[in-house]
Amino acid sequence: MDEERDLKILQDLIRLQTVNGNEAQAAHYLQEILRQAGARVEMVEFAPERSGLVAEIGPTTGPVLALAGHLDTVAIGDPASWHHDPFGAEVVNGRIYGRGSVDMKGGLAAMVATMLALAEEADQLKGRLRLLISVDEEVGGQGSLQLTRLGYVHDVDAMIVCEATDDQIQYAHCGSFDYQIDSQGKLAHSSRPQLGANAVMNLVDYINQEVHAFDDHPTSPVLGELVHSVTVFHGGEQLNSIPAKAYLQGNVRTIPECDNQATKERLQAIIDDLNRDPKHQLSLSIVADFMPVVTDPNDPFIGQLQDVVEAVTGQRPTATISHGATDASRYVMDDHQFAVVEYGPGSEDQSHQVDESLDLEDYYQAITVYQKLAHDFLI
C-alpha cells in the first residue's frame, strides 16, 4: 500500500466540489489516474458537467468483481456551522474532514487505490476488476440506472457497494419509493364552499386511506415491515378562498414482498377510488424509485468477504441489513443476478453531517480488505 499516494487521492477528491450536479471534474481526475496505471477507462456522460466512469483491469474472460461508488455528495448546508473547511480535506488527529469524506469519497478513493495496486499484477489476473462510478446517487440514482441500462453489470459475478458500514457487511436494504400526489380542485369563495372543490380536503381524504394502504402486506423475513409515511403537504393560497390546487409527497420503504410496483398499484387504487367522486381529481407521479435489495445471507461471497475482513482486522464482521437505499437498487434491476453487498470505510452516522469526517485507519483498512478480496477472487 502506498499511503502517501492513497491519502492524496482522497484529499484531492474531497477538495473537488461534487455536490449533486457537478461531478465531471472529479470523473476526469480519476480517469487520468486510472489510465496512467494501465486501466481501461470509459467516461459515461450523464449531462453537461456530469459524468460517471467505468474502469477495469484484467482479461476479457473469467469472473468479474465490481466495486461500485458514487461521485456526488449532498450540500454542505450553512458554511458557518462547520469548524473545518468542508472542502479542505484537513487531517486532524488521524481523521480527515470534509463533505463526502464518508459518503462516499473514502470508499471511492479506496476503490481506486485497490485498482492501482492490482494493476501491478494485471498479467496474473484470471478475471476482471471493474470500478463502477456513478453520478446522482444522492438524489435519484439516475447515474447507476444509466450504467445498468448500458450493460455494465450484465456479466458481474459479485459486487461491493463501498458505502460506509461501520465495519459490518450489509447484504440487504429496503427500497425507497418517493411519490407526489397532485390535487386539482375548483376555486370558490370560502363562504360558499359548495361551489368549489377543495383540493386540500381531497388530499386529506387520500391521507385517511393511505394510513391503511398496507395493513395486509406480508412481512419480509429479512427486512421486516414495510414503512410508509406522508412527509410533505402544500395547499391553499388565501385564507378566504377554497383552494384549487394542492399536493403532498410521501415515502415508502419497500420490501421484496411488497415491492415498488406493488406499492404503486396500492397507492393508485386509492386514487382511482377517490376519483370516482367528480370533485376529486388526484394524480400520482413518481419522484424516485429505488428497488429493495436482498442477497442470500448464505451466499458464498458473503462468507468470502467475512473471511477477508477477519484476516485483516482480527474480528469477523456481522452480516446485517440496512434501511437506507443505495445504487445497488439500480444495479439489481439488470436481468443478470449476482451477489451484492455493502462494505466500506467509516461510520454511517457521519454521513451528511456538519464536520463530516473519516478515521484514516478505517480508510487504509478498507483498501487492504478490498485488495485482498480482489486478489483472492481474481488470482
51-85 pLDDT tens trace: 999 999 999 999 999 999 999 999 999 999 999 99
d(CA 23, CA 47): 10
Would you state the pLDDT for residue 362?
97
What confidence tier does 20 reach under pLDDT thresholds 50, 70, 90?
A: confident
**Which pLDDT score is estimated for 267?**
98
Residues 275-318: tens digit of each pLDDT: 999 999 999 999 989 999 999 999 999 999 999 999 999 999 99
Can you read off the three cell numbers belonging to residue 7?
491519502
Residue 140 has pLDDT above 90, yes or no: no
Handedness of CA 45, 47, 51, 55 (dihedral sign): negative
Separation of alpha carbons 140 and 142, rounded Å: 5
Within 13 A of 150's CA, how many CA atoms are on the CB side?
Answer: 17
Contact 73, 100 (CB under 8 A): yes
CATH of domain 3-173+294-378: 3.40.630.10
**Which band of pLDDT confidence, cut at 50, 70 and 90, is reported for residue 325?**
confident
Exposure string (b/e) for 57-96, b if CB count within 10 Å is 16 or more?
A: bbeeeebbbbbbbbbbbbebeeeeebebebbebbbeeebb
Looking at residue 65, its pLDDT comes to: 98
pLDDT in tens, 85-112: 999 999 999 999 999 999 999 999 999 9
pLDDT at position 323 is 82
pLDDT for 151? 97
Domain ranges within the chain, ordered by starting residue: 3-173+294-378, 176-290
Q: What is the pLDDT of residue 338?
A: 97
For residue 355, is pLDDT > 90? yes
At residue 139, does pLDDT exceed 90?
A: no
pLDDT for the residue 87 = 97
- CB proximity list for 122: less than 8 A, separation 6 or greater: 38, 57, 58
- pTM of the prediction? 0.88
Q: How many CB atoms lie within 10 A of CB 209?
A: 14
What local confidence, expressed as pLDDT, does residue 155 receive? 97
Q: Are 66 and 160 in contact (CB under 8 A)?
A: yes
Q: pLDDT tens for residues 221-269? A: 999 999 999 999 999 999 999 999 999 999 999 999 999 999 999 999 9
CATH among 1.20.1110.10, 3.40.50.300, 3.30.70.360, 3.40.50.2300 for 176-290? 3.30.70.360
- Residue 320 has a pLDDT of 95
